Amino acid sequence: MQVKVFESTDMASGLKMVKDELGPDALILSTKTVRKGRLGLLGKSYFEITAAIDDMWPHKGGSALSDDTQATDPLQSERNLLLRTNNSDSVNVALTYDSEMRISQPDSQKDRKTDKIETQDSDSSVGKDLIQAEVDELKGMIKTLGQQMMRMNQPIPDTNEATHPARPAVTDSPLTLLQNRLNEFGISDDTARTISAFAKESLTLEDISDPFKQEQFLKETIIDLIHVNNSLSGEKQKQHRIALVGPTGVGKTTTLAKIAANQLSSNSSKIGFITIDTYRIAAVEQLKVYGDIMNIPVEVVISPEQLENALLNMRDKDLVLIDTAGRSPQDTYCIDELLTFLQPDLFIEKHLVLSATTRERELFDAIQRFSVLGLDNTIVTKIDECTSLGVLLDIQIKENIPYSFVTNGQKVPEDIMEADKKILTELIMSPGKGLLYE
């Protein structure tokens, strides 16, 4: 008898291998699922089929049976073979091909065995039961996998559905539309929600829905929220000293020249320039050019002691404008160094110059960093380069530092004006305008 073990990825291909190798009369002694890999867990599973063929039976490439062999009952030979195999304890289960499991048989043998198939012993039944169990297990796995896939395709249930019954679709309320309009002005969500809540307390929904009343409410509210400080327009009791501080590239020197030109034409001709910006290339020369054009003296200082002497030399001036070097808000050392120049006992107003084109996060970071100087006012430049100016309101809500000037271009002295509540409000509520009124 020939016994051979076959390995295949599935049962069908395994049976075909048995048929091709041992012939259609081969006996299936056992089948099992095996995994290769470390500890038998990590490898790919495959089927292992143990089959046998009696040497007296025809097999692949063999000749026909002899007359003596044909006279012998084939089923009896199979039973004897199975008994011998089971007694040797080499396999656990022996399977024989019956009318359903026989791969293929010659017609002559089928005719002789048809009436004897039902007499196969219990070993064959056990083999069938084992295969059926494996098939049932496979079906169960497929069913479980199908249920999992169906659950994956279902929408995630609302955990609040029990406590929150189905609600009708929510349409945009007048307050939501009001808040959206404020966002279109470039006003942040926090500020827009604050104004919207104030509108809910101050107006009826009917008034909020009325375009004219809504417009009036917004104008009045924004005007009340904006603070300005026009200190140069007041009566001159003593010398006025102003220092412009802020990040690099915001236009401090140009703004200083614009302030001086406006004051020369309207209030006083007694003005002096001081610069402590000795870091930037040509900064001193730029201010001296403006001084020559407007006949304003310029003094350059490089230490706090020299600044005190320069102020003493300009004691006859009504207005002293001090230009400082641009500092990165992250450079705390340079900001602290600037603080040694602008001592409180010198009575110098600190105006923080900010560009309207700066991102909101960087704007508020700059305000926080330069606040160690003791800021008095804010000047906003380059408003002509912005499509929305809602950030002007956000600064007032979060920092409450009054505005002293705003600028909208490079021309000296035209593109500057003292801060005005009504004009700033109109600029905020007119996205895309970005220009000052005559």
- Rounded-to-integer distance, Cα 310 and Cα 217, Å: 50
Rounded percentage of the chain residues whose pLDDT exceeds 70:
68
pLDDT digits (tens, 9 = 90+) for 8-17: 888 888 888 8
* Nearest residue to 389 (alpha-carbon basis) of 216, 186, 166: 186
What contacts 76, CB < 8 A, 6 or more positions away?
none
Q: Do residues 389 and 362 make contact, with C-beta atoms less than 8 angstroms apart?
A: no
pLDDT digits (tens, 9 = 90+) for 249-287: 899 999 999 999 988 877 777 899 999 977 766 778 888
pLDDT digits (tens, 9 = 90+) for 202-226: 888 888 889 899 999 999 999 999 9
pLDDT digits (tens, 9 = 90+) for 290-346: 999 999 999 999 999 999 999 999 999 999 999 998 888 888 888 888 999 999 999
pLDDT of residue 139: 62
Task: Give the SS3 label for residue 14.
Answer: helix
Name the amino acid, one letter, at 185.
Answer: F
pLDDT digits (tens, 9 = 90+) for 332-385: 888 888 999 999 999 999 999 999 999 989 999 999 999 999 999 999 999 988
Q: Is the pLDDT of residue 105 over 60?
A: no
DSSP state of 95: B
Highest mean pLDDT among 36-45, 107-116, 373-382: 373-382
pLDDT of residue 341: 94
pLDDT tier for residue 124 given thresholds of 50, 70 and 90: low
What contacts 203, CB < 8 A, 6 or more positions away?
213, 217
- Rounded-to-integer distance, Cα 105 and Cα 428, Å: 95
pLDDT of residue 46: 75
Q: Which residues of 232-247 are buried (b: 16+ CB within 10 A; e: fewer)?
A: beeeeeebbbbbbbbb
- Topology adopted by domain 232-428: Rossmann fold (3.40.50)
298-300/240-245 β-pairing: unpaired
Give the DSSP H/E element, type plus range, for residue 362: helix 360-370
* Nearest residue to 187 (alpha-carbon basis) of 405, 396, 413: 396
pLDDT of residue 171: 45
- Rounded-to-integer distance, Cα 166 and Cα 237, Å: 70
Q: Is the pLDDT of residue 39 over 90?
A: no
Token representation of residue 367: 């305000």
Q: Is the pLDDT of residue 29 over 50?
A: yes
Strand stretches in 162-297, DSSP E: 240-245, 271-275
pLDDT digits (tens, 9 = 90+) for 146-181: 555 555 545 444 444 444 454 443 345 888 889 999
- Rounded-to-integer distance, Cα 20 and Cα 49, Å: 14
Token representation of residue 181: 């309009």
Strand stretches in 43-130, DSSP E: 45-53
pLDDT of residue 56: 53
- Rounded-to-integer distance, Cα 416 and Cα 323, Å: 17
Q: Is the pLDDT of residue 130 over 90?
A: no
Average pLDDT over residues 416-429: 92
